[in-house]
């Protein structure tokens, strides 16, 4: 039977070309990242919103649960970006994914620490710059992604433009929910995929049930793009908190001061922490454009089996035996 290609990022080789998105705050934690790594994918811990000691603890926790490939995702926009990067490198992290901004310093830190650097980009220009600066791979993220967005362009149009412009691996992100989506972008020339929303609906994801239920009950109309205090659009699911955002009924005070630049429209750190803990009245729930397609919460192992089977079927995987 036809096998899916392995995903090679520098010296790392993932048996399955699936990267689990690093979703903050405390949505992508050690148990989820480890479960993905154990299935042959790449598991990411979301570093944004964690302290230096907390990110070290999460990395150690993941290492206790898996010998697979573990990375971190850290937003460039946060104040402690460099400190969290250095803490991750000191713990021997395998790779660092960085979005919500672009850091040239990250590449030298990765080279010094012998860690693979994978920036999230949404343009040919940044893809080329990333390759020139020493990126081991790039995540090309389209408008369909959940969380902070760097473009209003569809993922597939970006993949078409970028795959022939760089030599490093291209990982497609945004709106990838099933095996057919994976197969389609692999056929377009992508080397792998990054999936976030699909793994929120997993047993290993450490958010409260109310968070997952918002996904399970979502309709296509529930997807909303808001102006995040980070200074970027953000794709989320409608709940009582978003109604308050639209009506400007929120307290704009902030105890976190976590961002390099913040509009103070509301405290994004507090709203993400509230969401993770299940408070839908005060919590912001990021989700991809196709999150409404999810209808069951499964173990990561079952998710991987389903994705691989669907992708192989779409690619004509039953044409010959192993």
pLDDT tens column, 254-278: 776 777 787 887 888 888 899 999 9
Same domain, 192 and 232: no
**H helices within the chain, ranges in order?**
30-38, 52-65, 81-90, 105-113, 124-133, 155-162, 179-187, 197-200, 209-216, 240-246, 268-276, 300-314
Asked if residue 72 is part of any domain, the answer here is: yes
Asked if residue 1 is part of any domain, the answer here is: no
Same domain, 175 and 275: no
Same domain, 253 and 310: no
Same domain, 227 and 273: yes
Residue 256 is predicted with a pLDDT of 66
Asked if residue 258 is part of any domain, the answer here is: yes
Residue 247 is predicted with a pLDDT of 78
As a whole number, mean pLDDT of residues 303-309 equals 96
Residue 198 pLDDT grade (very low, low, confident, very high; cuts 50, 70, 90): very high
Cα separation of 169 and 131, whole Å? Answer: 10
CA distances from 7 to 65, 80, 303, 311 (A): 22, 30, 18, 15
Residue 317 pLDDT grade (very low, low, confident, very high; cuts 50, 70, 90): low
CA Rg value for the chain: 18
Same domain, 157 and 223: no
The contacts of residue 249 (CB under 8 Å, 6+ apart) are none
Number of compact structural domains in the chain: 2
For residue 247, what are the domain limits?
209-290
Asked if residue 321 is part of any domain, the answer here is: no
Same domain, 191 and 223: no
Q: Residue 121: name the closest of 173, 156, 167, 78 by CA.
A: 173
As a whole number, mean pLDDT of residues 142-164 equals 94
CA distances from 312 to 152, 181, 202 (A): 30, 11, 22
CA 110 from chain centre, in angstroms, equals 19
Asked if residue 240 is part of any domain, the answer here is: yes
Residue 252 is predicted with a pLDDT of 66
Residue 245 pLDDT grade (very low, low, confident, very high; cuts 50, 70, 90): confident
Q: What is the pLDDT of residues 92-105, one digit of tens each?
A: 999 999 988 888 99
Same domain, 197 and 237: no
Same domain, 107 and 164: yes
Q: What is the pLDDT of residues 38-58, one digit of tens each?
A: 999 999 999 988 999 999 999
Query: 318 pLDDT exceeds 80?
Result: no
As a whole number, mean pLDDT of residues 140-167 equals 94
Query: 232 pLDDT exceeds 70?
Result: yes
Cα separation of 320 and 174, whole Å? Answer: 32
Asked if residue 2 is part of any domain, the answer here is: no
Residue 1 is predicted with a pLDDT of 42
Residue 270 and residue 126 in contact, taking contact as beta carbons nearer than 8 Å = no
Same domain, 84 and 116: yes
Asked if residue 271 is part of any domain, the answer here is: yes
Q: Which helix (H) or strand (E) holds 150?
A: none
Same domain, 301 and 264: no
Query: Tokens in use for 149?
Result: 């967005």
Residue 229 pLDDT grade (very low, low, confident, very high; cuts 50, 70, 90): confident
Same domain, 175 and 128: yes
Q: What percent of the chain has pLDDT over 90?
A: 77
Residue 321 is predicted with a pLDDT of 36
Identify the burial level of 182 via C-beta atoms within 10 angstroms of its C-beta, where 0-12 means exposed, 13-18 middle and 19 or more buried. buried
CATH of the domain at 23: 3.20.20.70
Asked if residue 251 is part of any domain, the answer here is: yes
As a whole number, mean pLDDT of residues 133-150 equals 94
Lowest mean pLDDT among 2-11, 104-113, 251-260: 251-260
Same domain, 139 and 102: yes
The pTM for the full model equals 0.92
């Amino acid at each position: 039977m036809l096998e899916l290609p392995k995903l090679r990022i520098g010296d790392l080789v993932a048996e399955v070309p699936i990267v689990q998105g690093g979703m903050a705050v405390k949505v992508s934690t050690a148990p989820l990242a480890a479960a993905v790594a154990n299935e042959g994918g790449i598991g990411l811990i979301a570093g944004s919103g964690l302290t230096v000691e907390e990110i070290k603890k999460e990395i150690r926790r993941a290492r206790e649960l898996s010998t697979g490939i573990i990375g971190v995702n850290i937003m460039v926009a946060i104040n402690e970006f460099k400190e969290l990067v250095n803490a991750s490198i000191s713990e021997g992290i395998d790779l660092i994914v960085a979005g919500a901004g672009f850091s040239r310093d990250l590449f030298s830190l990765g080279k010094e620490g012998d860690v693979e650097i994978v920036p999230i980009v949404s343009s040919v220009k940044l893809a080329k710059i990333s390759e020139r600066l020493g990126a081991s791979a790039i995540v090309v993220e389209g408008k369909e992604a959940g969380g902070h967005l760097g473009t209003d362009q569809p993922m597939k149009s970006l993949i078409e433009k970028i795959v022939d412009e760089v030599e490093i691996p291209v990982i497609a992100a945004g709106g990838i929910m099933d095996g057919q989506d994976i197969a389609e972008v692999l056929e377009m020339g992508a080397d792998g995929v990054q999936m976030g929303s699909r793994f929120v609906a997993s047993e290993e994801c450490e958010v409260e049930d109310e968070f997952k239920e918002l996904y399970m009950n979502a309709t296509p109309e529930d997807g909303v793009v808001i102006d995040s205090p980070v200074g970027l659009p953000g794709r989320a699911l409608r709940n009582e908190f978003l109604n308050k955002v639209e009506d400007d009924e929120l307290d704009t005070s902030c105890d976190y001061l976590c961002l390099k630049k913040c509009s103070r429209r509301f405290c994004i750190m507090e709203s993400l922490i509230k969401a993770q803990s299940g408070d839908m009245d005060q919590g912001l729930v990021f989700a991809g454009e196709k999150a409404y397609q999810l209808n069951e919460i499964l173990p990561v192992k079952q998710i991987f089996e389903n994705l691989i089977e669907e992708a192989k079927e779409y690619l004509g995987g039953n044409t010959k035996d192993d």
